[in-house]
Structures are given as structure tokens and as C-alpha cells.
Amino acid sequence: MDAPPPHALSHSPAAAARVSVDEHRAHIAALLDERLRVEHNDDAVDDVLLEDALGRLLAETVLSPLALPPFRNSQMDGFAVRAAEAVVGRPLPVMGTIAAAPGEVSALAPMTAARIMTGAPVPDGADAIVPVEHAIVTTTDAGETREVTGADADAVAVAVAVAVTVMVTDTVQPGAFVREAGSDLPAGGELLPARALLASRHLAALAAAGIDRVRVRRRIRIAIISTGSELAAPGTTLGPGQIFDANLPALAAAASSAGAEVVLRERVTDDAAMFLVALGAAAELADLIVTAGGISQGEFEVVREVLEPRGAWVGSVALQPGGPQATATFAGVPVLCFPGNPVSAQLSFELFLAPLLREDAGLPARVTESRVLTVDLESVPGRVQLVRARADGPNGITPVAGPGSHLVAAMAAADRIIVVPAETARLAAGSEVTAWVL
């Protein structure tokens, strides 16, 4: 189990009762570095199907097994020609149509052209494509001659015509509208670098190279345990003195959003034996255990009751909401213990854990911005205040609720969190503040 963290030991007894946000953040980072990342390292990988790879961190560099594109193909609907033969005013007989379809393509005979579709193989002998917009097509059928130009040439039914010729309306350069094999990437070239965060564009490149599986870094596995005899599962009927549990779904969603894999979701009462069983199951599955509730100063605080005698640090951080905090290890697995009030639990996760998870998963850091208060704001000196708020116009920001840690509807209505420094007691309207973007 944990020894008391360094931030608690470095203060006088009076000051150690409430450690700073920065000290506690550093303690958690050290705990995860020391304990968690020993097991979650670059050698821990998952081999996943492409359809399951979105948002994952690539474990190794991927080389393309083939050239992209794999063969010369047409960039336009038009006519395959030899550029030297495609002279303005000279008709070239059209000897067939090449579709974007499987099969061998015959070479282009001298002084001829071939109708060709976008993506179709360019025949040997051809070195340019004349788009239909730059062509005059003449068809002869049963002695009747018809001439079409521009986009209308795209609709010509060449297969039923007795004879079809094409004349270009502009100078043709060798290589025009021809996609050469390997012009995007040669065979063996680097398709994606290691640690690429896989987005849809990366999956497209992998699929284009014929790759259907990739090796990705294993995500941190998190177990979440929500405690409290008063908690009921959403969708059930509340009994007297019960409330629905907001922490389990909120923390699981927050962990997933930060790039972690939630391997266990457990709700337990304030029963020490039940909590120990849940801890044991979590330690077998997870790299990190997160608990909610049970760490305050009153009675029936099951997390404190079970973990503090085993060496956990349980104390208070200079933070509102989210003052009660605890850390421990159980069976070698780090345990982060957040308060039970839903807003406190969510903001504690966002402040102390989410940045570490996002960094490990290769996700972008949380977006912060500067905005201007539209109203006066009172704060509690000596504590960092996390104020729920909404953006107000292009530069303004307005709080949406008071400091109560039970105000889940107000939390849902917020789209920003104002971070008020611990030394600040009051901010006047017009003051510039730092805010997280939710």
C-alpha cells in the first residue's frame, strides 16, 4: 500500500491537512509513472482489425506493401492518347472503352485513342489523357454523322456507333491527367509513423494498401468502483433515501473519452467486505482503479475504512469542488479515490487524471482559452475554484451555477470551466480568466 505522499510529508502538520492542487497533481503523476507505466509500456500492444483501430495509437511504423496507386490510371473521364499524336484538328479513331474494372487492358495502337473512365488503367502506349471537356467527338451510325463537344461527349454511346473519332481542342502534354504507379507512395515507403493517432484518413491509407489489421498500443485499462449504500442504478425504482448513481456512467465515459479502456464498472454499498471483493476483481483486470465516494470525514466512509489502514493517503486538497481526495495501491495497482458528489468526481477526474490519460493515449491536450467575465465572481481564498460556466459571445464567459458539488444539471449546462487561482478572492466583471473547454 501507499506510504503518505511526499506532498503531505513536506508540510507542517497544520498545512498538511490541505495540500495544494499542484502538489496533489504531481503526486498522482509520480504514482502513475512509478506504478502504472512499468506495466503499460511500448511492448504492450494489441493486434486489431482496421474497423476497431479508430482513435488508437499505432505501435510501430507501417510500410506500404505495394505502390500507391498500384498501376497507372486515369485522373479523368476522357480519352487515352499519345500526346505527340493528339494534335488539334487531327481526328483519331476511338478503338474501344476502358472501364475502371478488373481485367487486362490492350495496348494502344499508334494513331488511335481509347475511351477511358476515371480510375481505369492507362493502356501501354498511351502517355496522356484528354478530358471529355477538351474533346470533339464525331460518331457515324448508318451514314449519319453527329458531332458533340465538351461535357456532352461524356454521354456518347460509342458502343453502338459504326465509327467514332475524337479531336482535341487544346495542346496535350505528355503525362497530362495520368496518375503514375507509386506517385502517391512507392512500395516499401513509410505509410504511417509509429505513434500516429489513427483517424479516418489513416484508416483510408491503410485500407488502400490492402492492410486489414494493425498493431496498436494497448490502452490503459481502468476499473471504476462507485460506492454508497444510497446509490441506485439508473432505470430502477428509487427507494426511500436513495438517489441514482451519476458517478459510474460519468467516470466511465470520461475514461473512454481520455483514451482508456474501461474493463470493470462496479457499484457497491458501504460494506467493507463488498468493497474488498470489488477491489480484488478490479486489481486482476485493470492497470488503474478509480473509486468515487467513501473518503470524507464522517461515518460509513467505506473507501477510507478499507484503504487507510492499509497505507493509503486520505486527505484534503485546496480545491472546490473536490476537496476530499485519496490515493493508494492495492495488489500493486494504483488507486485514485475521488469524492462522491457527482460534480466533484467529474472535475477531480478532469483535473488530476484526464491530462495524464490523454497524453498516454496520444490524444491532444485539453483546450484552454482566455475569456472575459460578464459578471462579478466571488471565490474562496486559499482554494482553487472550478466554476461551471458558459461561453457568452465571442469573448465573454458567464457562470451557470454556484459552487455546490451536487448540481449535476448545472454541470450539464456548462460548456466551460473557469479556473480561479487559490490566491484570488474576487474577480470583477471584465476580468480575464482561464477556462477549460468541455
- Cell 471565490 locates to 379
Compute CA distances 22 → 26, 27, 329, 364, 381, whole Å. 6, 9, 21, 21, 16
Mean pLDDT over 70-87 rounds to 97
pLDDT range class, residue 403, cuts 50, 70, 90: low
Q: How many domains does the chain have?
A: 4
What CA–CA distance (Å, rounded) separates 343 from 412? Answer: 10
Q: Say if residue 376 is in the same domain as residue 399.
A: yes
Beta bridge partners of 136: 149, 167
Q: Say if residue 222 is in the same domain as residue 208.
A: no
For the chain, the maximum distance between any two Cα atoms, rounded to a whole number of angstroms, is: 107
What CA–CA distance (Å, rounded) separates 206 from 204? Answer: 5
Look at the chain and count its residues.
438
Q: CATH no. for residue 376?
A: 2.40.340.10
Q: Residue 170 domain-assigned?
A: yes
Q: Which 3 state secondary structure label does DSSP give 155? A: helix
Q: At 111, list the grid cell.
A: 494513331
Q: Say if residue 204 is in the same domain as residue 313.
A: no
Q: Say if residue 278 is in the same domain as residue 225.
A: yes
At residue 12, the pLDDT reads 32
Q: Say if residue 94 is in the same domain as residue 112.
A: yes
Q: Say if residue 105 is in the same domain as residue 57.
A: no
Beta carbons of 154 and 78 less than 8 angstroms apart: no
At residue 345, the pLDDT reads 96
Reading phi first (left if > 0) and then psi (alpha if -120 to 50, else beta), residue 52 is in alpha
Q: CATH no. for residue 109?
A: 2.170.190.11
At residue 14, the pLDDT reads 38
Q: Which 3 state secondary structure label does DSSP give 234? A: coil
Q: DSSP assignment of 256-304, as one string?
A: HHTT-EEEEEEEE-S-HHHHHHHHHHHHHH-SEEEEES--SSSS--HHH
At residue 367, the pLDDT reads 96
At residue 159, the pLDDT reads 44
Q: Say if residue 278 is in the same domain as residue 404.
A: no
Interval 358-394: pLDDT, tens: 998 999 999 999 999 999 999 989 999 999 999 999 9
Interval 229-258: pLDDT, tens: 999 999 999 999 999 999 999 999 999 999
At residue 37, the pLDDT reads 67
Q: Which 3 state secondary structure label does DSSP give 323? A: coil
Please provide the average confidence, as pLDDT, over all residues in the chain: 90
Tell whether omega for the bond before 69 is within 30 degrees of 0, i.e. cis: yes
333 class by beta-carbon count within 10 Å (0-12 exposed, 13-18 middle, 19+ buried): buried
Q: Residue 415 domain-assigned?
A: yes
Q: Say if residue 121 is in the same domain as residue 13.
A: no
At residue 143, the pLDDT reads 54
Interval 263-309: pLDDT, tens: 999 999 999 999 999 999 999 999 999 999 999 887 889 999 999 99
Q: Residue 68 domain-assigned?
A: no
Q: Say if residue 313 is in the same domain as residue 412.
A: no
pLDDT range class, residue 207, cuts 50, 70, 90: very high
Q: Which 3 state secondary structure label does DSSP give 319? A: strand
What CA–CA distance (Å, rounded) separates 438 from 436? Answer: 6
What CA–CA distance (Å, rounded) separates 335 from 348? Answer: 14
Which domain-ending residue is among 336, 361, 386? 361
407 compared with 157, residue with greater pLDDT: 407
Q: DSSP assignment of 48-92, as one string?
A: EEGGG-TTPBB-S-EE-SS-BSSS-EESSSEEEE-TTT--TT--E
At residue 405, the pLDDT reads 60
Q: Residue 127 domain-assigned?
A: yes
Beta carbons of 313 and 336 less than 8 angstroms apart: no
Tell whether omega for the bond before 321 is within 30 degrees of 0, i.e. cis: yes
Distance in Å from the first CA to the final CA of the chain = 34
Beta carbons of 57 and 196 less than 8 angstroms apart: yes
What CA–CA distance (Å, rounded) separates 117 from 101? Answer: 10
What CA–CA distance (Å, rounded) separates 69 from 340? Answer: 56
Beta bridge partners of 335: 289, 328
Which residues, at least 6 apart from 70, have a Cβ–Cβ distance to it below 8 Å?
181
Q: Residue 306 domain-assigned?
A: yes
At residue 140, the pLDDT reads 78
pLDDT range class, residue 410, cuts 50, 70, 90: confident
Q: Residue 274 domain-assigned?
A: yes
pLDDT range class, residue 407, cuts 50, 70, 90: confident
34 compared with 104, residue with greater pLDDT: 104
Phi and psi at 109, nearest 5°, equal: -70, 150
Q: Residue 185 domain-assigned?
A: no
Beta carbons of 8 and 16 less than 8 angstroms apart: yes
The distance of Cα 208 from the centroid of its chain, to the nearest Å, equals 22
pLDDT range class, residue 7, cuts 50, 70, 90: very low
Q: Residue 1 domain-assigned?
A: no
At residue 109, the pLDDT reads 97
Mean pLDDT over 423-428 rounds to 94
- Cell 491527367 locates to 177
Which domain-ending residue is among 179, 209, 229? 179
Q: Say if residue 148 is in the same domain as residue 198.
A: no
Q: CATH no. for residue 332?
A: 3.40.980.10
Q: Say if residue 381 is in the same domain as residue 353.
A: no
Q: Say if residue 334 is in the same domain as residue 288.
A: yes
Range of the domain at 276: 6-44+218-361
